[in-house]
Amino acid sequence: MQTLHTIAELRSALAAAGPCAFVPTMGNLHEGHLALIRQAGAHKLPVVASIFVNRLQFAPHEDFDRYPRTLAQDCDKLQAAGCDLVFAPDEAEMYPQPQGYKVHPEPALADILEGHFRPGFFVGVATIVMKLFGCVQPRVAIFGKKDYQQLLVLRRLVSQFNLPITVEGGETTRADDGLALSSRNGYLDAAQRSEAVALSRALRALADGARDGAQPLDVLEAQALVELTGRGWAPDYLTVRCRDTLLAPTDAQRGGPLVALGAARIGGTRLIDNLEF
Ligand code: PAF
């Protein structure tokens, strides 16, 4: 496995290797990322991963500075998972000048849910992913479904800019108790870690209630918020949406396909999760 730090090195390696399957990451890799690498490997193309903690998608009060940088360990894990090439640029390589041109995803999809609570987040994500696509020019790009809204935003980016890339979602990898794996789980202390599974359980209860159909969705959502708040969480949202638009389902759409999505803070750590049903 090669680890390259400049766009020039990357381009010359890719010119020799040919079209690739690409997994963009911010590093601090866990089993969920490695599952995406193995999914990329199934395409029988060279597998490229990027590791870049993208300042542009963090608000000033967020965890950019303390986000774990673990390049050596990440490279060991990527190699074991079958990755062929790691692109790990520094900030000067990706942002040699202040980024004056940015990708603004459509507000109806990107200014709700995560975009509402993290203004500018999807502009930062879409801009770096567009830049990474320009560097890597993959045939296939794989993003985890744990960041469900991100996956939809990036699918639409590829479709609206006619990029010759197939976007695939990777299933969420979970710990034995059901907690979705996330780099931010490492911020949790032992008590928070054992409580953390309550988020996925709340989404399961919300999905079950929605499927049951006995109560309106807004009542179920309000109950879920009250319950999680009562356990000491600070939820941003717990909601049921249509899977492909993230709009609230009409009565006729309550049969699905739907997704329950949630974001909530436990202590200082903000976790997100979702459940398709
Ligand atoms: O999901 C992530 O890790 C990031 O948002 C991504 C897609 C690598 C862009 O920085």
pLDDT (tens digit per residue) in 88-138 = 999 999 999 999 999 999 999 999 999 999 999 999 999 999 999 999 999
CB of 128 closer than 6 angstroms to any ligand 1 atom: yes
Instruction: Determine the residue of 121, 147, 172, 173 to mutate for testing ligand 1's pocket, defined as the one with the most ligand atoms within 8 A of the Cβ atom.
Output: 147
Spell out where the chain has E strands: 2-4, 21-25, 47-51, 85-87, 140-144, 166-170, 234-242, 258-266, 269-276
pLDDT in tens, 21-56: 999 999 999 999 999 999 999 999 999 999 999 999
Given a contact cutoff of 8 angstroms between Cβ atoms, the answer to whether 171 and 143 are in contact is: no
Measured in Å, residue 186 CA sits from the centre of ligand 1 at 17
Neighbours of 4 (CB within 10 A): 19
For residue 26, the CA-to-ligand 1 centroid distance in Å is: 6
Using alpha carbons, select from 96, 269, 89 the residue that is nearest to residue 179: 269
Distance 223 CA to ligand 1 centre (A): 32
Query: What pLDDT, on the 0 to 100 scale, is given for residue 194?
Result: 98
pLDDT value of position 172: 98
Going from the Cα of 251 to the center of ligand 1, the distance in angstroms, rounded, reads 34
Question: CA-CA distance, 98 to 257, in Å (whole number)?
Answer: 41
Residue type, 235: P
**Which residues make Cβ contacts (< 8 Å) with residue 70, sequence separation at least 6?**
27, 28, 29
Ligand 1: which residue has its CA nearest to atom 8?
25
**Which atom of ligand 1 is the closest one to the Cα of 54?**
10
pTM (2 d.p.): 0.98
Specify the ligand 1 atom closest to the Cα of 144.
1
Q: For the purposes of burial, counting CB atoms within 10 Å of the CB of 233, is it exposed (0-12), middle (13-18) or buried (19 or more)? A: buried
Which position among 5, 30, 33, 43 bears the catalytic label? Answer: 33
Give me the mean pLDDT over the 162-190 stretch.
Answer: 98
Q: Could you confirm whether 116 is annotated as catalytic?
A: no
Distance from C-alpha of 253 to C-alpha of 260, rounded to nearest angstrom: 14
Residue nearest to atom 3 of ligand 1 (CA): 25
Mutate to test the pocket of ligand 1, among 50, 58, 150, 165 (most ligand atoms within 8 A of CB): 150
The answer to whether the CB of 154 is under 6 A from ligand 1 is no
Spatial distance between the Cα atoms of 208 and 203, rounded to a whole number of angstroms: 8
Q: What is the reported pLDDT for 156? A: 98
Nearest CA to ligand 1 atom 1: 25
pLDDT of 258 reads: 98
* Closest ligand 1 atom, residue 26 Cα: 3
**Where does the pLDDT of residue 150 fall: very low under 50, low under 70, confident under 90, or very high at 90 and above?**
very high
Confidence bin at 249 (pLDDT 50/70/90): very high
Alpha carbon distance 22, 125 (integer Å): 16
Indicate whether residue 114 lines ligand 1 (CB < 6 A). no
